[in-house]
Every structure is written in structure tokens, then in C-alpha cells.
Amino acid sequence: MSTPKVFPEGFLWGSATASYQIEGAAREDGRGCCIWGTYSRTPGMVRNGDTGAVACDHYHRYVEDVALMSDLNLQSYRFSTSWARVMPDGRTVNQAGLDFYSRLTDELLGRGIVPWLTLYHWDLPQALEDEGGWPSRDTAYRFVEYAQTVHSTLGDRISYWTTLNEPWCSAFLGYAEGRHAPGRTDGPDAVRAAHHLLLAHGLATSDLRSRDADLSLGITLNFADTTPADPQDPGDLDAVRRIDGMSNRYFLDPLFRGAYAPDILDDLRNVWPEGLVQDGDLEAISTPIDVLGVNYYSGSTVSGSPPEEAHAAADAARATGIPSAHVGSEHVTFVPQEVEHTAMDWEVRPRGLTDLLVRLHRDYTGPAGIPLYVTENGAAYDDAPDETGFVQDDDRLAYVHSHLGAVHDALEAGADVRGYFLWSLLDNFEWAYGYDKRFGIVRVDYDTQQRTPKASARWYATVAGSNRID
Ligand code: IFM
């Protein structure tokens, strides 16, 4: 029997979701169309033609869902607001949309659950995409207005505000690889999008700070933990540098050091648009934050010498000029390891989470006294429900257990980690995979909308209630 790992007093236990993935009610109460609505209706983009039109019907079932959170001992709930619900055309306020989030917030507070709000989890109003989307600088200014609008309604009751969730995905999956909405494949536009997302974050952070000094403001990034296939091979080490640069330092350096790293600028010299970074942009982007959100699922091993089968992916990467973490380039190949994989085919590598948290604390957040929160971690598995809908998901439970152990190891190594949000509360719309991939600790039967806590949910409730893992 292993020794119990006790977490620091006050460690925040929660779970996370996102608006487009669970809300449904896509055309209700004045909600506008968003880029994921358009993308998922485009044939061939989302598995089985699934859309988020109904999803988990959370818009109508939020009272039941919050009661479930309470049953599971959740102390905090991380959710996102839908920009297109609050401002259907990206500019005009829809009071009914704001009212929904107001009701949700009250319900959470009534149950003693701390609301943790994310302003942008990938669902840009389609009207703004039609005007240029994130590659257009104007979208950053529209985002500030949106942040002000949401704050004017919820600022009196919500303390934790995250500007963006995983801007890497919005920029590079959305505008370079086309595997996410809006499905564009243009290298310079992806670079523009990434810069304007960072600018939107910085401008909104500084604006919200000036309105309310007591808010806890932050951003959530997804991280790639990458190791070289051969630590002695200079080509493999350079592959690590490139992926670390594109996935991690691309965002960390402007946020915490007020500059893009020279090696990234060099890697991207053929696609970096002239005049993109204007005077004052980096000062805005590096506006101090209070919290860094860390999303971690998996890691990878990379090599600098591509095998034959990597050539097709390399061609795709060369077409956009973007060396991404998911598309091999002529200098980067992903080398699968003999470890357990989740249903997403992601390698289970808990140690990567420890290394990541320790590194972030040492190199970025620790010196500034900024705490880390794991804002997403979890796993999709091929669940097999019994006749009552119950899922004995020992695989997911083991995944979360090992990653919580990794968080504890990071705490022991000195990283200032203050909380953990399991992704996800509910099975939901998993983007390009539609409803095929289930990340929830609560099963959703999409025919009946019945919610059934899985074994992992029951276990997580004891962890949240006791502040320890055994
Ligand atoms: O479902 C997503 C979430 O929206 C963002 N982070 C990764 C999750 C799993 O793919």
C-alpha cells in the first residue's frame, strides 16, 4: 500500500468545462453563431457530423449540473462564457445571454462553489470571423469590450478571471492546420492570430485590473512536454527546442518577459508578417497576472530525423511554414513510446506534469510570486457503461491518480501549485472528434441527457473531500 499524499491546506479542487462543449441551446435567447457552429456544420470537419447545437443541454440543466458538482464535493467550477451568447454579433450586448451566466453564478455561489470564469474558450462569434477573425487586430479590441461587458454583470460575484484558454490551439490549430475552427491554413495568419490573442489578453487584463484591483486575473496555456529521442543527438535536441519554442515559449516569453524569443522569430522568419508587433504591444501583453493556468494531458518524444512515413506530414507543415506540435516538419518527428495511450492516442506521461510545473515555477512564475493552477488534466477512454449507465472507469481513475501524484511531487519540489481542475465534469463535444471521445467523470447519455457519475467521479469526490490521495 502506498503512502497517502496530503495536499496543502486550501488546495482548490475543481472540475472544468467550456461553453460550446456543453451548453447547447445554440439558437436560443438570441445567441449568435460562432465559428465552431459553422465549422462543425461543414461536411467532413467533425466526426459523424456532430455539432454543439444540443451538446449536454447544460443551458437548460445547469441547476441539476451544479447540484451534481456539490454532490461530488467540488470546491470550484471552471466554465467559459460564450461570446456569441453575450454579444451575438461580437459587439451588441444580449442581456438574455448575460442573464444565463448570472443565474449560473448565483447557483454556484448558493452551493458554496467558487466560480472560475474563462472568457474565451475558442468560440469566436462568426460575425467577427467574417470581419477577419483573430488575424485581424481589431478582434483584440472587440475582446476588451466583451470582457468589460461580462465583468459589468459578473464582476461583483466572480473573483477568478481567465482571459483565454489555450491560445496555441486557437491560433495554430485554427489558422495554420485547419483542424479546428475556423479551419484556415495560412502560416502568416496563424502568426497574426497568436499575436492578437496575446494582445487581447494583455489589453483585457489591464482594463479589468483598472476596473477592479481585487480580481485574480490570469490566462490558461496548454503545454507540450517534449523529450529528445536521443539526448546526445544535436538534431533531436533541436527538435525539442523548436517544439518547446512553438508550443510553450511562444506564449510564456511575451507574457512573462515582454519579448518573443529570438530563436522562435528566426524559425518563423519566412512567415512572420512585417509590422505585426506595434509599439506598446509587448508592454500590454506582459501586464502582470495573478495566476497561470496550466493544461497538461500528455508529452512526446521527438527526433530531428524524419522517417519515411513522416514525409506527408512534413509536406503539410512546409505548406504553412509552421513547425507545430502536431504536424511533423522536416526537422521534427514524433517517436511513439511503448507506454499506455488514452483513447485520444495520447501517451500517459505523468512525470511530464511534474517536470512542467517545476520548470514553470522556476523559470517564469516563481520569481514573480505567481501561483500555478492545473486548470485542465484528464483523459478520454472508451467507456463501457452497464445497463444502468454506470461506468467502472478504472483507466481514467488511474490516469487522474497518477497525475495528482505528479502534482504532489511538484509541490514537494517547491512548485507553488494551488489547485487542480479535472477535465471534464461531463462527457461533452470533443471538438473535431464530436461526441466520440468521452473525457467526463460523469457519463452523459446523449439520447436522454441522463447524467451518471462514473467510478472516477465517486473517487474524485473522496479526494476533494479529504484533500489527499491514497
Ligand atoms: O476538450 C479539450 C478542451 O476544450 C481544451 N483542452 C483539451 C481538452 C481535451 O482535448
Which residue from 255, 141, 251, 155 is spatially nearest to 209, judged by alpha carbons? Answer: 155
Confidence of residue 8 (pLDDT cuts 50, 70, 90): very high
Catalytic residue chosen out of the listed positions 23, 166, 177, 430: 166
Q: Is 166 a catalytic site residue?
A: yes
- 347 within ligand 1 shell (Cβ under 6 A): no
Q: Is the pLDDT of residue 332 over 90?
A: no
Residue with cell 451575438: 88
- 423 within ligand 1 shell (Cβ under 6 A): yes
262 vs 266: CA distance, rounded Å:
6
* pLDDT tens digits, 279-310: 999 999 999 999 999 999 999 999 987 665 44
CA of 458 to the centre of ligand 1 (A): 22
Q: Judge whether 267 and 329 are in contact, CB under 8 Å.
A: no
Mean pLDDT score across all residues of the chain: 95
Catalytic residue chosen out of the listed positions 177, 347, 376, 430: 376
CA of 165 to the centre of ligand 1 (A): 9
- 79 within ligand 1 shell (Cβ under 6 A): no
Nearest residue (CA) to ligand 1, atom 4 = 18
Grid cell listed for 34: 460562432
CA of 40 to the centre of ligand 1 (A): 16
Q: Is the pLDDT of residue 430 over 80?
A: yes
Nearest residue (CA) to ligand 1, atom 10 = 430
Q: Which range among 33-37, 129-133, 317-321 shows the weakest confidence by mean pLDDT?
A: 317-321
Confidence of residue 334 (pLDDT cuts 50, 70, 90): confident
Residue with cell 475543481: 14
Confidence of residue 316 (pLDDT cuts 50, 70, 90): low
Burial class (CB in 10 A: 0-12, 13-18, 19+), 450: exposed
What is the reported pLDDT for 327?
A: 37
Q: Judge whether 206 and 285 are in contact, CB under 8 Å.
A: no
CA of 430 to the centre of ligand 1 (A): 7
- 425 within ligand 1 shell (Cβ under 6 A): no
What is the reported pLDDT for 325?
A: 41
Q: Give the position, in ligand 1's atom list, of the atom nearest the Cα of 18.
A: 4
- 295 within ligand 1 shell (Cβ under 6 A): yes
Burial class (CB in 10 A: 0-12, 13-18, 19+), 241: buried
* pLDDT tens digits, 157-198: 999 999 999 999 999 999 999 999 999 999 999 999 999 999
Q: Judge whether 13 and 47 are in contact, CB under 8 Å.
A: no
For residue 352, give the amino acid letter.
G
- 375 within ligand 1 shell (Cβ under 6 A): no
The stretch 13-21 carries a mean pLDDT of 98
- 77 within ligand 1 shell (Cβ under 6 A): no
Q: Which range among 179-193, 254-268, 331-345, 441-455 shows the weakest confidence by mean pLDDT?
A: 331-345
- 376 within ligand 1 shell (Cβ under 6 A): yes
Q: Is 23 a catalytic site residue?
A: no
- 123 within ligand 1 shell (Cβ under 6 A): no
CA of 435 to the centre of ligand 1 (A): 13
* pLDDT tens digits, 354-405: 999 999 999 999 999 999 999 999 999 999 999 999 999 999 999 999 999 9
Which residue from 416, 425, 411, 431 is spatially nearest to 461, judged by alpha carbons? Answer: 425
Instruction: Determine the residue of 179, 424, 444 to mutate for testing ligand 1's pocket, defined as the one with the most ligand atoms within 8 A of the Cβ atom.
Output: 424
What share of the chain in percent tops pLDDT 70? 94
Instruction: Determine the residue of 431, 433, 437, 441 to mutate for testing ligand 1's pocket, defined as the one with the most ligand atoms within 8 A of the Cβ atom.
Output: 431
395 vs 421: CA distance, rounded Å:
18
What is the reported pLDDT for 326?
A: 39
Grid cell listed for 4: 497517502
Q: Which domains does the chain have, with CATH numbers?
A: 5-301+337-469 (3.20.20.80)
356 vs 296: CA distance, rounded Å:
9
Residue with cell 525539442: 240
CA of 15 to the centre of ligand 1 (A): 13
Q: Give the position, in ligand 1's atom list, of the atom nearest the Cα of 431.
A: 1
Nearest residue (CA) to ligand 1, atom 2 = 430
Q: Judge whether 291 and 339 are in contact, CB under 8 Å.
A: no
What pairs with residue 376 in β-bridges?
Answer: 295
Which residue from 406, 247, 396, 260 is spatially nearest to 334, judged by alpha carbons? Answer: 247
